[in-house]
Amino acid sequence: MKIGIPKEIKDQEGRVAMTPAGVQALLAQGHTVVVESDAGLGAGFTNQQYQMAGAKLVPVAQAWDVDLVVKVKEPLPAEYPYLDTQMVFTFFHLAGVTPSLTEALLAKGTTAIAYETLEDGHGRLPILAPMSAIAGNMATLMGAYYLARFNQGKGLQLGKVLGKPHGKVVVVGDGVVGQHAAQVACGMGAQVWVAGIDAGFMASIKAKVLPEANFFLSSPENLSQHIADADLVVGAVLCRGALAPKIITEAMIQSMTTGSVVVDVSIDQGGCIATSKPTSHSHPVFIEHGVVHYCVTNMPGAYPRTATVALEDATLPYTVAIAALGKAGLMSDQRFAKAVNVMDGKITCKAVAEALGMMDVWAG
């Protein structure tokens, strides 16, 4: 099979979908790999390293003119002309981005295999998880940075000063993003509150991962109460494949004090904060009701060296499997049945079809 690795074009996105070591692993299976020139530079991998690994360097159009494209972020409008009947294995977040991407995939007959809905045998999300860990760590760091006075924050430093704790952090969602954001905040010494929906699960992560954090059930009343006096709120909710529920309302944001910060990590699925809108690394924040909003949709792109290696650790076994199966074998393999979101002009993920109001083209 011919596999293509295009250069990522999202704002300030330095990740690349495959390292030279990954290229070698695919060549060893008898496949051909073409890499767009300069695709790896942002993550520290040179063209020469890819050539020495056995890849052919090509212009952008040839990186897409293959059987299987492996990418990091969803195709942007400038990339739609390259969509065809190939398989594309990447983050799509179809429920959270403009319907134009789904429309282009349907019209071209592209097979969209989404990292974010690929489940392992235990029902976990093995490709989303490493990116969520990086974004979770970063959420608290960015929150602390934007609390600084020179960033229009309230001038509060999160954490302990000579043993006395400062700052309240509320993390909404207790999965991978939420646990990492809370761990960093606890490490700084802030007062940390985590909202989840399953009391048993919260008890187990308090015991195993976050002994210093406080937990509460995510009801509208509890969220209103905890968010009103929070200095930093991290939105970390996920309903798989679907648009994120806006459980943090505009009234909750209005109740926060001026110069507080919210980081909506769930923004790639539309965001869980009513006042959120997508931002970029070049323009990461805006202010609404006096609250600084950070809503960058490709947060791990800020740390491309770490994120590229972590992503490939997760994707490579699946890329090898897809290349061996081919398009015809995808839907009958339980690893990929949930990961395929669009195929042969139909939406194959019900949550995506519902979120976009496109049940007429759902394959079910």
Confirm whether 226 is a catalytic residue: no
Give least dist CB 244 to ligand NAD, A.
6
Q: Which of 31, 264, 268, 293 is catalytic?
A: 268
Strand boundaries in the chain, DSSP class E: 2-5, 32-36, 56-58, 68-70, 87-90, 111-114, 159-161, 164-166, 168-172, 191-196, 214-217, 232-235, 261-264, 285-288, 291-294, 340-343, 346-347
Instruction: Decide if 260 contacts 292 (C-beta within 8 A).
Output: yes
Q: Which is nearer to ligand NAD, 132 or 348 (CB)?
A: 132
Q: Which is nearer to ligand NAD, 4 or 14 (CB)?
A: 14
Give least dist CB 127 to ligand NAD, A.
10
Q: Which is nearer to ligand NAD, 1 or 195 (CB)?
A: 195
Give least dist CB 236 to ligand NAD, A.
5
**Residue in the shown chain whose Cβ atom is closest to ligand NAD:** 175
Q: Which is nearer to ligand NAD, 86 or 137 (CB)?
A: 137
SS3 156: coil
Q: Which of 31, 93, 180, 293 is catalytic?
A: 93
For ligand NAD, the binding residues (CB under 6 A) are: 116, 128-129, 131-132, 135, 172-178, 195-197, 218, 236-239, 244-245, 247, 265-269, 296-300
- Strand 191-196, strand 214-217: pairing: parallel
The one-character DSSP state at 8 is P
| Cα–Cα distance, 88 to 75 (Å, whole number) | 9
All residues at 6 or more sequence positions from 81 whose CB lies less than 8 Å from its CB, including other chains: none
Residue of 209, 211, 216, 138 lying closest to 179 (CA atoms): 209
Give least dist CB 254 to ligand NAD, A.
20
Give least dist CB 99 to ligand NAD, A.
18
Per-residue b or e along 198-224, where b marks 16 or more CB atoms closer than 10 Å to that residue's CB: eeeebeebbeeebeebebbebeeeebe
Give least dist CB 285 to ligand NAD, A.
14
Confirm whether 93 is a catalytic residue: yes
| Cα–Cα distance, 323 to 346 (Å, whole number) | 22
| Cα–Cα distance, 74 to 360 (Å, whole number) | 23
Give least dist CB 20 to ligand NAD, A.
25
CB atoms within 10 A of CB 81: 12
Look at the block and give the residue holding tokens 């700052």.
167
Q: Which is nearer to ligand NAD, 167 or 178 (CB)?
A: 178
Dump the DSSP string for 208-251: HT-TT-EEEE--HHHHHHHHHT-SEEEE----TTSPPP--B-HH
Q: Which is nearer to ligand NAD, 131 or 230 (CB)?
A: 131
Q: Which is nearer to ligand NAD, 191 or 266 (CB)?
A: 266
Residues noted as catalytic = 93, 268
